[in-house]
Structure 1
Amino acid sequence: MKSYLEVGKEPTFFFDLWLKGYSKTIERSGTHLLNGLTGSFGSSLMERALLDGFSKLQGTHLYDSLKKRALRIQPERVHSRLNNWNFSDSLPETPLGQIAVRQTVGLADPIRDSDIPKEEALNDGLPQSIEAWARDFGIRYFKIKVTNDLSVDIPRLLAIAQTLDAVAPSDYKISLDGNETFKSVDQLEKWNRKVHAEDDLKGLLERVLYIEQPIDRLSAFDASVASHLKEAKDLPPVIIDESDDSLGTFNMAADYGYRGVSFKNCKGAIKGLLNKMLVDSLNVSGEREFFLTGEDLMNTSVVPVQQDLAMASILGLSHVERNGHHYCHGLDHLSKNEIDDCIARHPNLYEPFGESGRLKIQDGFLDVSSLHTQGFGSVMEPDFDFMTPLGEWRFEDLEG
């Protein structure tokens, strides 16, 4: 916040304020030994507040602010490759009205109902297994964590394949998340050959869209990685996530052989938009196909998940990883007034759930059309009376 307040003392256009505020925040976070991802999260909080406030003052929603060039975004000031790029070419004609959920399949998540010991069954009205999410909510995209340990990955992938083939929609797709567990492209290729040698995994592996950040971020941009990744023919497209710690990272990653980059609001909405323009610009050459993906950091309602979905729909992302609905119990963290307000304002996105509410997932999709009214994804006022003053809050409060 200090960085944005310092650079915003004089009237200026949004893009100037954001670019200076972002740069100063990253610089300041470095002096506190924080990495670029952590610094960009701090910047993104101010950035999203500015985008929301600007659009509300204009009486419009963020998509229109972008489409009308009201924010004075100048992509060439960040990426010279985008000089003369038509900004509007990277925006859909209208924001997407629905987005498919890509369900996280964590390493500790039960795959089948039968994997849940009786004493560990939550019985809280929400699915606990991946089988139940696919069967009961029609989830058709899945993000599967892998470990670079074949003794763990192969049996687990076999169980996932058998389960999804039995209960998921027939057109289901998956992404793989390597979570930095590989040290080199050679390791990744060896792992890939081994899993492809399993006949019972062929069907599942044909559904892989990409693999996310398999290479440790400390090695991801080694020269040897770059040369090997460009030459690797049998790997699915490889994208960066944790390595994406600066505005210029994806531009460099594309030259190294990476095919895409993740979008998360916590890394910055404008950064996501600039990366979308880079993707579109790179695709003009037609040499390789580049793409932007939507990943999650356990976004929950109200503001985090709504702004993330709003931005994803503006970027034209047809499916995004979601896991807040899986790891948190509906809208229980909100007050009764806030729950009622969510459902009243967004009956397409939320539904009643006992005395609470939850995301309304239908046939694997979320209807996000109501998020584009005014501002950036949310018009609700927080219920401050329900909150604990920051000075009184203690970590022990979480135990309740």
Structure 2
Amino acid sequence: MSAPSFHLRDIQLYERPVTLRLPFRFGVVTLRAAPQAFLRLRIEMPDGRSAEGQAAELMVPKWFDKNPALSNEQNFAQLRLSLRHAAEAYADNAQRSAFGHSAAHHRALVDLGSRHGLNPLVASYGPALLDRAVIDALCRLTQQPFAQALRGNLFGIEAATLTPDLAGFDIAAYLAEVSPARRIAARHTVGMLDPLTESGLPAAERLNDGLPETLQGAIARYGLRWFKLKVGGDIAADLARLKAIAAVLDAAPEPYRASLDGNEQYDDADGIAALWRAMRAEPDLRRLCASIQYIEQPIKRAAALDKPVASLAGEIPLIVDESDADYDVFPRARALGYGGISSKTCKGVYRAILNAARALHWGEGCFITGEDLTCQAGLALQQDLALVAALGLYHVERNGHHYVDGFGTAPASEQAAFATAHPDLYDASSGKPRLRIAQGDIALGSLLDAPNFASNAAPDWASLAAMNFTASPVLEGNNA
């Protein structure tokens, strides 16, 4: 059956402020607050039937564009501009499939972003939200859960359109095998400022908000067995920090697994290789090193795809994350020795699906991982979980629940609606719904069964502010 074609109508953009309960340090950035973008639209079929779709994503500064000359407010304005560009492009009154709408505008939006100083990763942010809302609307119209719609290629995904290296690959057969597990392990982020032990956190600095405040407390509360460890580019400091982390993780007799996140802190492969080899030489890090599955984006994006990394990749797999700015990146990275690439809904659902297809097509040594960008409870969290589950992943980085308390400033009625609609996903026993993680796992049943893109509840749209496009977004010509 061919994928349905339709028009897009009534694209609306909103935002809500989000304040973190704990400061989140990644790379050289400490995040304490950021707006969350919300989007809704309507699709209209040729026969007049229509349905509404929705999506949300945090606007994180100093990740999409790490140019130090830009303020956090300019980073937010960049992402708003990306959304405005995408909304205006998708409202062209053309009738296309869900994937067709995305593919038709992809190159033009990247080029338009470049003319306004937006790098391709920033330029992808707007279309990523538009695509998710379109997917949601189509699932609602046909009353199909996301995975079921994906199995039947309801979205009209074509392998060769944006990924010509997949020409000849049977994308329909690949999608037909989608079978998401109903639970997924949470890979807990250990930020560079995160307290590690209960005894090491002074009473005067405690929040006492009922949530874990240390790595030790998070392990006790959630039964975690997967971790993502941030490093900062200073070998001596990183070794000391990793030894302190290992002392906590090694206290458990059960096996654990981890990833190491370089967050673009190294100029080349030699820098991260020096850290990795120094780690392996430390007796106190022996168990930790044996538990690390891969190193994520250690090299600055400006240089990450310039030279081979095969020498280090022969010791430990490497993946790209921030360098994943367009559909051509994974083949280029693979040719240099990288084994994997990350899935993040803020970079695009279709890119993640096609990269996962590539990993399967290429075979042994190629893989896709699930990473987080502080996905917030509600739409953002649930759509990302549905995507990584459909990709067949069995663990995913989750950090939004640790750095933000539940649904943050969302109205109580909105929080209650999500908790009622997804009681396996949220724990409301404290009176405030929060992500439920039990024995290290997140239950996905209710969002996988939802006849939409993973959410049987909606934001309180009346409580959201219309998106503000008045701030100056960029330094002209910036493409950092």
- The one-character-per-residue Cα deviations of 1:315-354 (angstroms, maximum 9, x if unpaired) are 1111111111110011242222112211211111001143
8 Å Cα contact 2:144/2:451 also seen in 1? yes
How much has 1:150 moved relative to structure 2? 2.0
What residue in structure 1 maps to residue 463 of structure 2? Answer: 386
What residue in structure 2 maps to residue 258 of structure 1? Answer: 338
What residue in structure 2 maps to residue 267 of structure 1? Answer: 347
- The one-character-per-residue Cα deviations of 1:49-83 (angstroms, maximum 9, x if unpaired) are 11111111112122222211222211112223312
What residue in structure 2 maps to residue 85 of structure 1? Answer: 169
Could you say what secondary structure the match of 2:294 adopts? Answer: strand
What residue in structure 1 maps to residue 278 of structure 2? Answer: 194
8 Å Cα contact 1:144/1:175 also seen in 2? yes
Describe the shift of the 1:264–1:233 C-alpha distance in structure 2 as closer, same or farther (beyond 3 A): closer
What residue in structure 1 maps to residue 405 of structure 2? Answer: 329
Could you say what secondary structure the match of 1:214 adopts? Answer: coil
1:356 to 405, 408, 432: 432
Distance 1:295 1:91 in 2: 24
Describe the shift of the 1:2–1:189 C-alpha distance in structure 2 as closer, same or farther (beyond 3 A): closer
- The one-character-per-residue Cα deviations of 1:340-372 (angstroms, maximum 9, x if unpaired) are 211211111001143311001000110011112
Describe the shift of the 1:368–1:56 C-alpha distance in structure 2 as closer, same or farther (beyond 3 A): same
What residue in structure 1 maps to residue 385 of structure 2? Answer: 309
What residue in structure 2 maps to residue 377 of structure 1? Answer: 454
8 Å Cα contact 2:98/2:131 also seen in 1? no
The AA in structure 2 aligned to 1:291 is: F
What residue in structure 2 maps to residue 291 of structure 1? Answer: 367
1:242 maps onto 2:319 in alignment: no
How much has 1:381 moved relative to structure 2? 2.8
The 5-angstrom pairing of residues 83-232 of structure 1 reads 83-87=167-171, 88-89=173-174, 92-167=177-252, 170-222=254-306, 225-226=307-308, 229-232=309-312
Distance 1:139 1:264 in 2: 21
The AA in structure 2 aligned to 1:194 is: A
What residue in structure 1 maps to residue 420 of structure 2? Answer: 344
What residue in structure 2 maps to residue 397 of structure 1? Answer: none
Could you say what secondary structure the match of 1:104 adopts? Answer: strand
Distance 2:279 2:176 in 1: 38
8 Å Cα contact 1:241/1:262 also seen in 2? yes
Q: What is the percentage of aligned positions where both structures have the same residue? A: 34
Distance 1:345 1:178 in 2: 37
What residue in structure 2 maps to residue 20 of structure 1? Answer: 104
Distance 1:3 1:149 in 2: 39
1:43 to 127, 145, 155: 127
Distance 1:211 1:71 in 2: 33
Distance 1:165 1:327 in 2: 24
| Higher helix fraction (1 or 2) | 1
Could you say what secondary structure the match of 1:170 adopts? Answer: coil
Distance 2:279 2:244 in 1: 13
8 Å Cα contact 1:3/1:24 also seen in 2? no
How much has 1:388 moved relative to structure 2? 4.5
Distance 2:221 2:431 in 1: 21
8 Å Cα contact 1:330/1:353 also seen in 2? no
8 Å Cα contact 2:85/2:126 also seen in 1? no
- The one-character-per-residue Cα deviations of 1:261-305 (angstroms, maximum 9, x if unpaired) are 01000000011001001111111xx4xx11100111101111100
How much has 1:118 moved relative to structure 2? 2.1
The AA in structure 1 aligned to 2:330 is: F
8 Å Cα contact 1:91/1:316 also seen in 2? no
Aligned residues: 385
How much has 1:235 moved relative to structure 2? 2.9
Unaligned runs of 5+ in 2: 1-83, 472-480
Describe the shift of the 1:91–1:329 C-alpha distance in structure 2 as closer, same or farther (beyond 3 A): farther
8 Å Cα contact 1:189/1:235 also seen in 2? no
Unaligned runs of 5+ in 1: 395-400
Distance 2:382 2:206 in 1: 30
Distance 2:419 2:399 in 1: 20
| Higher strand fraction (1 or 2) | 2
Larger mean CA deviation between 1-10 and 343-352 belongs to: 1-10
The AA in structure 2 aligned to 1:231 is: S
Could you say what secondary structure the match of 1:144 adopts? Answer: strand
What residue in structure 1 maps to residue 74 of structure 2? Answer: none
Describe the shift of the 1:350–1:47 C-alpha distance in structure 2 as closer, same or farther (beyond 3 A): same
Instruction: Give TM-score, length-normalised by structure 2.
Output: 0.77
Distance 2:361 2:186 in 1: 27
Could you say what secondary structure the match of 1:115 adopts? Answer: coil
What residue in structure 2 maps to residue 72 of structure 1? Answer: 156
8 Å Cα contact 2:178/2:391 also seen in 1? no
Could you say what secondary structure the match of 1:267 adopts? Answer: coil
8 Å Cα contact 2:153/2:175 also seen in 1? no
Instruction: Give TM-score, length-normalised by structure 1.
Output: 0.91
8 Å Cα contact 1:279/1:292 also seen in 2? yes
Distance 1:215 1:100 in 2: 27
How much has 1:115 moved relative to structure 2? 2.1
- The one-character-per-residue Cα deviations of 1:82-101 (angstroms, maximum 9, x if unpaired) are 12222233565422211111
Distance 2:467 2:368 in 1: 37
Distance 1:232 1:389 in 2: 48
Could you say what secondary structure the match of 1:232 adopts? Answer: helix
Alignment RMSD: 2.0
